[in-house]
Amino acid sequence: MIGNYKRFNMSAPPRRQALFLLPVVWALSLPKVLMHSSKTDKSGLPKDLKPPYLLLCNHNAFMDFMVMTYAIWPRRANYIVAIDGFIGIEGLLRSVGGIGNRKFTTSLPLVRNMLAAREFNDVIVLFPEARYSLCGTSAVLPASLGKMAKMMNVPVVTLVMHGHHINCPFWHKGNRWVRSIRSEMKLLFTAEQTQALSAKDLNAAIREALHYDDFAWQRENSRRVRSKKRAEGLHRVLYRCPHCDAEYRMDSKGTELFCEACGKRWELSELGVLSAKDGETEYSHIPDWYEWERLCVRREVEAGTYSFEGEVKIESLPSAKGFVSLGDGRLSHSAEGFKLSGTCQGETFTLERPVSSMYSCHIEYNYKGRGDCVDVGSFDDTFYVYPKGRDFSVTKMALATEELYTHGKAK
């Protein structure tokens, strides 16, 4: 344990959503639902389906919570929420059914709390991607999902929402006034099927059911984004130039994405399509560019050449009271995993997360105006780590975490 701080109580038993707070939850959610003309197709749900059931949702923006709330109306629910969501409102969030967790860590108390919440006969809501999608496509899912479904022994329902990333992309948060957003809610497994199928087969079906592509949906449904700043922030995801292969020299302004190394520029259309201002358009579809970056990282991992090491600023989040600044430190990321070193309360510390312990990681873009950061956590603490300079990309670190894990398992 690093530092003498009061810790977030991961073992605190879940509370059933307080009835007197339900009108408040619905009232806070309704404006967003109406503002964006959100509709949920429930034709895939049996009319006689009643809680308890496990609801698995894709994750693109904060609006997901509002749409999900109305998708399950008038049912009560318990939600799995990352610890940063509890900052300053822990008592309130627990009262509305929040169950705390630290992202991308193994947590037995979380499993116990989900099983305990099942006894309320309400909906148990989980966003298994555990972070907002970086470019509006499916993120890697934990291999433990199938096992969790078997342990819960309740029906499994999916809610896939479309248009939320287009309205409020992770790389440039804010309302873009996209209307007529849609979602589909359907029964994926009965409780009996979760027991009859293997965890591997459950995982495969869940991955297929939660597959989505918001940019493809945008084009197919002609949802236009008319903002004059619609490309700003996109360089945080598309950090590598496909024209000159330079890394960390991409930037964006207005409706354009450009490379400072070679000068090439791309325009982002109202329908989310990229086109080169001059010459070949290497990738018109944003997720294709992102997957090309993944391929580049995979090649580095397989060749044994991927690594990052640099000076960082460190903030600790031991509890929901807020962040504690730990000053400067050093972070490395390689085939050995993450290694973070710094000083806390006058004592030096080193935190190591081996490759095998993280199938993915949580990152943030310009988090609270402090810059891009990567989350390196343990069971009892979460460290938000801000690399200095510009010769890095937290997107690349996230891709590398996933590729290192996959490569390690294959070996």
Convert the pLDDT of each residue in 91-123 to its tens digit.
999 999 999 999 888 778 899 999 999 999 999
79 with 181, same domain: the answer is: yes
Pairing of strands 373-378, 274-276: unpaired
User: Is 226 inside any structural domain?
Assistant: no
User: Is 23 inside any structural domain?
Assistant: yes
- Say which CATH number the domain at 386 has: 2.30.29.30
Residue 297 to residue 400: CA distance in whole angstroms: 6
Each residue's pLDDT tens digit, 334-352: 999 999 999 999 999 999 9
- The pLDDT assigned to 87 comes to 93
- The pLDDT assigned to 46 comes to 95
User: Per the confidence metrics, is the pTM higher than 0.85?
Assistant: yes
96 with 135, same domain: the answer is: yes
Residues with Cβ < 8 Å from 346, sequence gap 6 or more?
none
CB atoms within 10 A of CB 55: 22
User: Is 71 inside any structural domain?
Assistant: yes
Structural domain ending residue among the three candidates 281, 303, 325: 303
104 with 201, same domain: the answer is: yes
Q: Which residue range(s) make up the domain with 241?
A: 234-303
- What SS3 state is found at 30? helix
User: Is 219 inside any structural domain?
Assistant: no
Each residue's pLDDT tens digit, 217-249: 999 999 999 999 999 999 999 999 999 999 999
Structural domain ending residue among the three candidates 278, 303, 328: 303
313 with 357, same domain: the answer is: yes
Q: Tokens for 8, please give them.
A: 């977030």
286 with 320, same domain: the answer is: no
80 with 199, same domain: the answer is: yes
139 with 246, same domain: the answer is: no
Split into its structural domains, the chain has a count of 3
Half-sphere exposure of 106 (CA within 13 A, CB side): 7
Which pairs from 306-309 meet CB under 8 Å and 24+ separation? 306/334, 306/335, 306/400, 306/403, 306/404, 307/332, 307/333, 307/334, 307/335, 308/332, 308/333, 308/334, 308/387, 308/392, 308/396, 308/397, 308/400, 309/333, 309/334
76 with 194, same domain: the answer is: yes
Q: What percent of the chain has pLDDT over 70?
A: 100
156 with 292, same domain: the answer is: no
Cross-strand partners of 315: 325, 384
Q: Are 363 and 387 in contact (CB under 8 A)?
A: no
Q: Tokens for 61, please give them.
A: 């923006």
User: Is 1 inside any structural domain?
Assistant: no
- The pLDDT assigned to 18 comes to 94
User: Is 338 inside any structural domain?
Assistant: yes
345 with 291, same domain: the answer is: no
73 with 147, same domain: the answer is: yes
User: Is 350 inside any structural domain?
Assistant: yes
193 with 240, same domain: the answer is: no
Structural domain ending residue among the three candidates 268, 285, 303: 303
Stretch 25-33: mean pLDDT:
92
Residue 8 to residue 93: CA distance in whole angstroms: 13
User: Is 39 inside any structural domain?
Assistant: yes
